[in-house]
Chain A
Amino acid sequence: MTDLVSVTIDGMTVQVPKGTSIIEAAKQAGVLVPHYCYHPSLPSPAVCRMCLVEVEKAPKLMPACVTTVMDGQVVHTDSEQARKARTGVLEFLLINHPLDCPICDQAGECELQDYTFQEGRDSTRYGDYAKRYNPVEDFGPDVLYVANRCILCTRCVRFMDDVARQPVLNVSERGDRAYIGIDEGQLLDHAWAGNVVDLCPVGSLISKDFLHKARAWDLDKSASVCTGCSQGCNVMIDTRDNTVVRLRPRPNLDVNRHFICDHGRMNYRWMNRGDRIEAPLLREGSRHVASDWAPALVRLGELAAKGGKAVVLASGNASLEALGMVKALLKSSTATLAVQLPMAESEEPLGGVPNLALRRERAANGDGARLLGYSTDWQAAVKAASAADLVILLDVTLTDAEAALVGGAMAVVVLGTLLGQELPAAQLILPVTTVAEEHGVFVNRDLRVQRYQQARTAPGLARPAWWIASEAGRLEPSTAAEAFALVANLVPALAGLTYGDLGLTGRVVRAAVPSPQGA
């Protein structure tokens, strides 16, 4: 039982554990203390001086990020003194800051803009004095350092030093000549280095990938989960006009804190691919003919009802709902279920955060599949497919050899996304949605069950695979939530769970029977 202390911030009294900083206690009271250098995932240097607040009985304004709360303390974050101090800091930051907003990517999501709009001066007193000039530096591979915009909050240096543990950045020079330097001949190629772009409160560290691509206020944002590996980092998918333009970390203190790795960050272009299966295709003789859903679903239902030996070959990024509903669809068959999980050579940890790495298992739902009884023995499953009555492929691209084996089955149904996934032998080729186009659930390596949300509309007639299975099998679920509830009850560990239980940060479950953990 931690000791609690009581503090009153802007008139609201809250109880917080002893040792809490004023800035964190303020969050409990619903107060955001403006700040730059402070970050909950980094050590606090208290250098930006933006978070100075008035504390009754203290002789000076106190930096909220490093001042711990004392029992009975009364804090005013918005008093005249505190506001004047903040206006002062903003003015000082702006004197050397270039008027780059029209060409700066950070505009619209810039904390300098935000706070200046809120309580900065409405005109400059700096007049036409020269501003400090430092050239743009390519910190590579994806990061540009626009030195003139830097406010020297040093978040990037502290991230690389303490969290990434690759200390290649420094503060060089002194006084108003200071800038961020990088090791001679080094690049910011650490597996997690891209986070410095998110950490930078202004447009000083920017992503080359996102350079001049879209304006922040044009973006729609959806909560999702990264499909890069089994870590299950929470991400935000940013889209503009239905095109995914950026992935950013979504804070989850129990999984990825405020970070995602560069592999995951760059792993979005495939979401915009145009070469998609867009309509259900039914086999008529030797050709595939496009059709509406109704006849396709009827045919799928018939195939499933026949029973016999069924094999499901599923992608490691198929949702829990999809995997479960397909399994439910095949209740009349003896089913062999397999999931494809690409494995990498090694993992790339983020040293400063416990239990966080780019994992070797490069798929998001390996453990969801395992909970549902899907095997990882792909070879065996492909072999079984060659003699099966029904094979369902769920968003996988087979090798030529695998396709040849699968072609030996009585009936093949492809639930696919990309045009390359069609098989000439298939009875049905049905368009499914990707993770960006549907609601669903992944289970990460720690058995955390996490929701992801739809970020863009699906092309053509593509529908979620759980829906196809539900319709074809005349099963109950007609929404993703209902599908999840049904699938959850197929697994003892997930029994009774609903979307409401998961929220947007997920929930960890315990496997009733310990399933072999992925890598």
Chain B
Amino acid sequence: MSGTAHSAVHDENYQPVFVGDAKAKLEALFSKYPTKQACLLPALWMVQEHRGWISERAVGEVADVLGLTPAFVKGVVTFYTMYHTHPVGRHFIQVCTTSPCNICGAEEVTKAFLKHTGCGELGATSADGRFTVIEVECLGACGFATPVLIDDDFIEGVTPERVAGILQGYK
């Protein structure tokens, strides 16, 4: 079961992401696109993998590294909903509730997650910092209702009864 490392909530002592291996990995991407700008989405994924979210400072770093402006990068970050612009729980839970799953009980599954994680409401992080639960739009697994994405794990056929057991695996 996967989790992600999180940086401190306050970014006063910001450590750059693109050093060493990460830098090499990003630079290896440059040859795959005619512009550095095209590496923006991959670069943002790398930031989120390393830090768990994308801070203002990180936006500035990515802008620097790719020769873009912070305003531009921020505009992109806020467009795509999978990028977090603030820290979230150690394990990020996304439950699909769009119509095909909705008619197969997705909302009950969501309620079960809210209950068993102790998050209380959607978007909130549980008191112990372990979980954040959100509703998302169609995850593209409609025949396997209800699909749930926890960190990078795509779990299908989730029912309210399975929720407690699933959560065991995420510390």
- Answer whether A and B touch in the complex at a CB cut-off of 8 Å: yes
**A contact set with B: CB distance below 8 Å:** 167-174, 181-184, 186
10 of the cross-chain contacts (CB-CB < 8 Å) are A170-B72, A170-B74, A170-B75, A172-B74, A172-B75, A173-B79, A174-B81, A181-B78, A183-B74, A184-B70
Most buried by A among B60, B71, B75: B71
The 0/1 profile, CB within 8 Å of A marked 1, for residues 65-86 of chain B is 0000111101100110100000
Q: From residue A166, how far is it (CB to closest CB) to chain B in Å?
A: 9
DSSP majority for the B interface?
helix
Residues of B within 8 A of A174 (CB): 78-79, 81
B72 touches A181 (CB 8 A): no
A171 CB to closest chain B CB (Å) equals: 6
- How many contacts between A and B, using CB within 8 angstroms? 35
- Nearest to A173 among chain B residues (CB) is B78
**B59 neighbours in A (Cβ, 8 Å):** 184
Asked whether A167 lies within 8 Å of B69 as measured between CB atoms, the reply is: yes
Q: Report which of A181, A184, A186 forms a contact with B75, defined as CB distance below 8 A.
A: A181
**Which residues of B are interface residues toward A (Cβ below 8 A)?**
56, 59-60, 69-72, 74-75, 78-79, 81
- A157 smallest CB distance to B (angstroms): 8
Q: How far is the CA of A183 from the CA of B64 in the complex (A)?
A: 13
Alpha-carbon gap, A34 to B74, bound state (A): 32
* Chain B contacts for A169, CB-based, 8 A: 71
> CB distance A181 to B79 under 8 Å?
no
- Residues of chain B within 8 A (CB-CB) of A184 are 56, 59-60, 70, 74
A181–B59 CA distance with the chains assembled, in angstroms: 14
Q: For residue A19, give the distance in angstroms from its CB to the closest CB of chain B.
A: 28
Q: Say yes or no: B78 contacts A168, CB within 8 Å.
A: no
A167 contacts B79, CB within 8 Å? Answer: no
Q: Does B71 contact A168, Cβ atoms closer than 8 Å?
A: yes
Chain A: CB-nearest residue to B80: A174
A184 to B74, CA, bound (A): 9
Q: Considering the complex of A and B, which 10 residue pairs feature the smallest CB-CB distances, nearest first? A: A170-B75, A170-B71, A183-B71, A172-B78, A167-B69, A183-B70, A184-B56, A173-B78, A168-B71, A174-B79
A182–B72 alpha-carbon span in the complex (Å): 9
Q: Chain A nearest CB: distance from B19 CB in Å?
A: 22
Evaluate whether A181 and B69 lie within 8 angstroms (CB atoms) in the complex, with A173-B79, A174-B79 already known. no
Of all chain A residues, the one with the shortest Cβ separation from B56 is A184
The listed residue (B60, B70, B75, B81) touching A171 by CB distance below 8 A is: B75
Instruction: For the A-B complex with A172-B78, A174-B78 known, give 18 more contacts whose Cβ atoms are closer than 8 Å.
Output: A167-B69, A168-B69, A170-B72, A170-B74, A171-B75, A172-B75, A173-B78, A181-B71, A181-B74, A181-B75, A182-B71, A183-B69, A183-B70, A184-B56, A184-B60, A184-B70, A186-B70, A186-B71
Nearest Cβ on chain A to B51's Cβ, whole angstroms: 17
Q: Of B56, B60, B71, B81, which one neighbours A167 at CB under 8 angstroms? A: B71
B72-A167 in contact (CB<8A): yes
Shortest distance between the CB of B72 and any CB in chain A (Å): 6
CB distance from B117 to the nearest CB of A (A): 26
Question: Which residue of chain A is the closest to B75 with respect to CB atoms?
Answer: A170
Docked Cα-Cα span, A103 to B148, in Å, equals 48
In the bound complex, CA of A461 to CA of B59 (Å):
62
Residues of B close to A173: CB separation below 8 A: 78-79
Q: List B contacts of A186 (CB < 8 A).
A: 70-71
CB distance from A469 to the nearest CB of B (A): 54
Which of A170, A171, A181 is the most central at the interface, judged by chain B CB atoms within 10 Å of its CB?
A170
Q: What residues of A have a CB within 8 angstroms of the CB of B75 in the complex?
A: 170-172, 181
In the complex, A186→B56 CA distance in Å? 13
- B56 neighbours in A (Cβ, 8 Å): 184
Distance of A169 Cα from B69 Cα, bound (Å): 10
Scoring A181, A182, A183, A186 by chain B CB atoms within 10 A of each residue's CB, the highest score goes to A183
A169 to B72, CA, bound (A): 8
Which residue of B is nearest A166, CB measured? B69
The chain B residue sitting closest to A168, CB to CB, is: B71
A184 to B69, CA, bound (A): 11
CA distance A183 to B63 in the complex (A): 11
Once the chains are docked, how many angstroms separate the CA of A173 from the CA of B76? 8
Closest CB of chain A to B123's CB: distance in Å? 14
- Closest residue of chain A to B68, judged by CB? A167
Which of chain B's residues have a CB closer than 8 A to the CB of A167? 69, 71-72
